[in-house]
């Protein structure tokens, strides 16, 4: 019997695991990536505890498409495309790149955005807002609160629900924000519980296009961990109605 070359034997041993790791790296870098939502700023569209899949190629690729941002800083994206107004986008927080956020694109480069008495204005035109009854907003402590529910229709026709916890929220009246080139204006659908572009000092401010990671496409599961009080309650906290929902 001929002795097997030790290098060939080592390669045969590690080739399959390496190929598997390579495919996982390529898929999560270039195609899609799972994300988990720990906060309620995008309720009712996205709930605390939702697991979602982000489309990594929707807007092209930047260094934040790579694990740990392992790439050169650049204001250009490979095969880059701007999001459409109304897209729900996952991105790195400006000034705190360790934090990943998910918000809705409200303003594109060149737009002028303002809040007046809780109503959104885009380029001086008020956005259509329709009352849609009441909803429930969940806090990070697991408590729920009644909220007014509205349907907002953005320029271009995207319709989406928003929640209003208070008649006069802290960010219901703002200055006019002129969105600079290469940046986006983001807002959460839970309007009174969202730190976003309406608060440039303590919130998010304008988001550089470079910081985009993925387009939120679908929830693949949801678990209400905030109200899981013990092992006996754990199975009942799975929200099957939120599985495989388009965002």
Q: Check if 164 is active-site.
A: no
Closest CA to 80 of 220, 208, 192, 226: 208
Question: At 197, is the secondary structure helix, strand, or coil?
Answer: coil
Q: Active site residue: 41, 62, 65, 194, which one?
A: 41
Distance CA 103, CA 197 (A): 10
Contact criterion met (CB below 8 Å) for 116 and 93: no
Q: Give the sign of the dihedral formed by CA 46, CA 65, CA 59, CA 23.
A: negative
Distance CA 46, CA 221 (A): 11
Q: Check if 74 is active-site.
A: no
Q: Active site residue: 39, 62, 65, 103, which one?
A: 103
Pairing of strands 207-208, 50-55: unpaired
Distance CA 177, CA 74 (A): 24
Contacts 24+ apart (CB under 8 A), 73-78: 73/210, 74/210, 75/182, 75/208, 75/209, 75/210, 77/209, 77/210, 77/212
Question: At 243, is the secondary structure helix, strand, or coil?
Answer: coil
Catalytic residues: 41, 103
């Amino acid at each position: 019997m001929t002795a097997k070359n030790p290098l060939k034997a080592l390669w045969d041993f590690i080739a399959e695991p390496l190929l598997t790791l390579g495919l996982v790296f390529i898929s999560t870098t270039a195609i899609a990536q799972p994300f988990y939502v720990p906060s309620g700023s995008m309720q009712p569209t996205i709930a605390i505890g939702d697991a979602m899949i982000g489309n990594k190629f929707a807007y092209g690729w930047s260094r934040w498409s790579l694990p740990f941002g392992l790439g050169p800083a650049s204001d250009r994206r490979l095969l880059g495309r701007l999001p459409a107004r109304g897209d729900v986008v996952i991105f790195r927080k400006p000034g705190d790149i360790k934090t990943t956020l998910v918000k809705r694109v409200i303003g594109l480069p060149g737009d002028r955005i303002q809040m007046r008495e809780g109503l959104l204005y885009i380029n001086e035109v008020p956005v259509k807002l329709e009352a849609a009854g009441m909803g429930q907003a969940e806090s990070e402590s697991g408590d729920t609160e009644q909220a007014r529910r509205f349907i907002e229709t953005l320029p271009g026709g995207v319709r989406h629900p928003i929640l209003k916890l208070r008649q006069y929220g802290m960010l219901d009246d703002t200055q006019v924000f002129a969105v600079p080139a290469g940046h986006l204006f983001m807002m959460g659908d839970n309007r009174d519980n969202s730190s976003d572009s309406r608060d440039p000092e303590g919130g998010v401010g304008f988001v550089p296009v470079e910081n985009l990671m993925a387009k939120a496409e679908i929830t693949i599961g949801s678990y209400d961990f905030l109200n899981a009080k013990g092992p006996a309650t754990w199975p009942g906290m799975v929200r099957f109605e939120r599985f495989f929902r388009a965002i």
